[in-house]
Amino acid sequence: MLDVLWIVLGAVIGLAAGTVLGIQWARNGAKSFTQQMETQSRLLLEEARSQQKEILLQAKDDALRLRQEAEAEIKESRQNLQKQEERLQRKEENLDRKLDGFERRERQIQHRERNIEQLHQEAEHLKQEQGSELERISALNREEARAIILEQVENEARDDAARRIREIEQSTREDSEKLARKIIGLAIQRCAPEYVAEVTVTTVNLPGEELKGRIIGREGRNIRAFEQITGVDIIVDDTPEAVTLSSHDPVRREIARVALTKLLKDGRIHPSRIEEVVQKTRVEVEQIMREEGERVAYEANVQGLHPDLIKLLGRLKYRTSYGQNVLYHSLECSLLAAHMAAELGANVNVAKTAALLHDIGKAVDHEVQGPHALIGADIARRLGRSAVIVHAIAAHHNDEEPQTIEAFLVQAADAISGARPGARRETLDLYIKRLEALEMVAASFGGVQRAFAVQAGREVRVMVQPDTLDDLASIHLARNVAKKIEETLQYPGQIRVTVIRETRAVDFAR
């Protein structure tokens, strides 16, 4: 629109300029020139007018087009604004509806709260009335009634707990026993030792009865020399063709036995010869002990043992426990512990080394005071064994509380080897005392009628009074008896506790 106006103004200005020039030419020129100039001026004016019309028409067209475009944009903007207004209107209506709904819910909640408060007050009133009525009917006050109810709840909870404990124990026992049988069975099958119970040899057979006099010597000089050199007492009694060696040290007793056997074969028995033979025999026995220690360590696949540990291990060849050779027992424990550790994913080297050395204290327990487990642990510590091995040795008889899986495995291997049928022997007096102690422990509980130790002390059967103890109390009794046996008695393997509750109804036909 502005461009068209500028064009029109230019044309007018041009026209005015031509007019001025024409006037000047008219003043200075001839009339013809004036006429010519007027003619040209008219032509220019007509041309300018024509251009002005065209420009005006073009300007109108442009203005109309711009107006239409502006109107279209305005219309589109109005439509968008109308749509936005409609959306805002709908949102506002939705918000109004939600607000109305919230207000209704709030009124409902307030109404319900008032109803609940009213019901609560009514319930409290009824509770008080019922409490008063119950006190009047039962002739009990609130505290007494509460005590009775609490006692009933406590009894029910105890019964439920006993049932739950029984179920858990049964499930756990089944799973654990299944896994334990599998692991121990595999270990025993892979170990499969053929060791038998041994008895300490204390008797030396004589080729003839006349040799007793030669052993004693003139005025007893030979027997005195032998006893002083070996540290072993020789008992010469009425036993035909035999003498007995007595000493608390099994190595000394073995040296004396071998030396006496050599002297009897040689026939020369006098103090100087006795000293010579005993000295040679001592060197031979020490070499045998060292070789036995190395052999057992090799069979157990335990490496890096100190030479003093090897020597002490070999000394166990001449030591027995309840008739079981301690060296073979240690080897058997090492193999069992290694197999069980492999099945459980424990440290195999620690388990087999600790099991092999667990009774090393018995090699010197005649010389050092204290439990052999702690003595062995101290020896292993001083000779460079690791802390876990020392702990497993010290804890295999619960002188220390077991803290590692390897310590428990050493305990298990020791129990398996010691409880194996035929592995150990007990004297009759000790056997009878153990059974009597077992029966006394079971009979010390209330409600027990009789207690019997059966299966060589592997099981104790407890007969209870049915009027005094019910089934759940019998379960508690079995657990308590087992715990007391564990705390007060020492025994190999495990002891089964069976509680029997029997109700009998008796009548007579007359």
* Residue 353 Rama label (left phi>0; alpha psi -120 to 50; beta): alpha
Q: How many C-beta atoms lie closer than 10 Å to residue 255's C-beta?
A: 26
Query: Could you tell me the residue range of the domain that residue 279 belongs to?
Result: 203-419
Q: Indicate the SS3 state at residue 398.
A: coil
Q: Is residue 176 part of a domain?
A: no
Out of 399, 419, 439, a domain closes at: 419
In sequence order, what are the residues at sequence separation of 6 or more whose Cβ sits closer than 8 angstroms to the Cβ of residue 57? none
DSSP code at position 360: G
Q: Is residue 136 part of a domain?
A: no
CATH number of the domain that 318 lies in? 1.10.3210
Q: What is the signed CA dihedral for 220, 223, 229, 235, rounded to 10 degrees?
A: -130
In sequence order, what are the residues at sequence separation of 6 or more whose Cβ sits closer than 8 angstroms to the Cβ of residue 266? 273, 277
Q: Is residue 274 part of a domain?
A: yes
Out of 131, 160, 189, a domain closes at: 131
Within 13 Å of residue 476, how many CA atoms lie on the same side as its CB? Answer: 14
Mean of the per-residue pLDDT values of the chain: 79
In angstroms, the CA 99 to CA 276 distance is: 118
Q: Is residue 381 part of a domain?
A: yes
Q: Is residue 234 part of a domain?
A: yes
Within 13 Å of residue 312, how many CA atoms lie on the same side as its CB? Answer: 21
pLDDT tens by residue, 391-404: 999 888 888 888 88
Whether residues 438 and 411 share a domain: the answer is no
Least confident of 32-36, 162-166, 255-259: 32-36
Highest mean pLDDT among 7-21, 351-365, 416-430: 351-365
Whether residues 244 and 115 share a domain: the answer is no
Whether residues 439 and 409 share a domain: the answer is no
Q: Is residue 170 part of a domain?
A: no
CB-based burial, 460-471: b 16+ in 10 Å, e otherwise: bbbbbebeebee
**Of 478, 412, 411, nearest in space to 441 by CA:** 478
Whether residues 394 and 438 share a domain: the answer is no
Question: What is the residue-wise DSSP string for 56-71?
Answer: HHHHHHHHHHHHHHHH
pLDDT tens by residue, 108-166: 888 888 888 888 888 888 878 777 776 666 556 667 767 777 887 787 787 777 777 77
Please tell me the predicted confidence (pLDDT) of residue 20: 62
Whether residues 413 and 436 share a domain: the answer is no
Please tell me the predicted confidence (pLDDT) of residue 200: 43
Q: Could you give the residue ranges of the DSSP H alpha helices within 383-450? A: 387-394, 405-419, 428-443
CATH number of the domain that 473 lies in? 3.30.300.20
Whether residues 395 and 447 share a domain: the answer is no
In angstroms, the CA 196 to CA 422 distance is: 7
Whether residues 360 and 434 share a domain: the answer is no
Whether residues 448 and 404 share a domain: the answer is no
Is 357 a residue whose pLDDT tops 80?
A: yes
Whether residues 65 and 121 share a domain: the answer is yes
Whether residues 53 and 85 share a domain: the answer is yes
3 versus 197: the higher-pLDDT residue is: 3
Question: Going by DSSP bridges, is the β-strand pair 242-246/320-321 parallel, antiparallel, or unpaired?
Answer: unpaired
Q: What SS3 string covers 120-159?
A: HHHHHHHHHHHHHHHHHHHCCCHHHHHHHHHHHHHHHHHH
Q: Is residue 353 part of a domain?
A: yes
Is 194 a residue whose pLDDT tops 50?
A: no
Q: Is residue 59 part of a domain?
A: yes
In sequence order, what are the residues at sequence separation of 6 or more whose Cβ sits closer than 8 angstroms to the Cβ of residue 272? none
Please tell me the predicted confidence (pLDDT) of residue 6: 65
Whether residues 87 and 123 share a domain: the answer is yes
In angstroms, the CA 25 to CA 30 distance is: 8
Q: How confident is the model at residue 30 (pLDDT cuts 50, 70, 90)?
A: low
Is 195 a residue whose pLDDT tops 50?
A: no
% helix, strand, coil for the chain, step of 5: 70, 5, 20
Q: How many domains does the chain have?
A: 3
Out of 387, 419, 451, a domain closes at: 419
CB-CB contact of 188 with 416 (8 Å): yes
CB-based burial, 163-179: b 16+ in 10 Å, e otherwise: eeeeeeeeeeeeeeeee
Whether residues 408 and 445 share a domain: the answer is no
- The percentage of residues in the chain with a pLDDT greater than 70, rounded to a whole number, is 80
426 versus 343: the higher-pLDDT residue is: 343
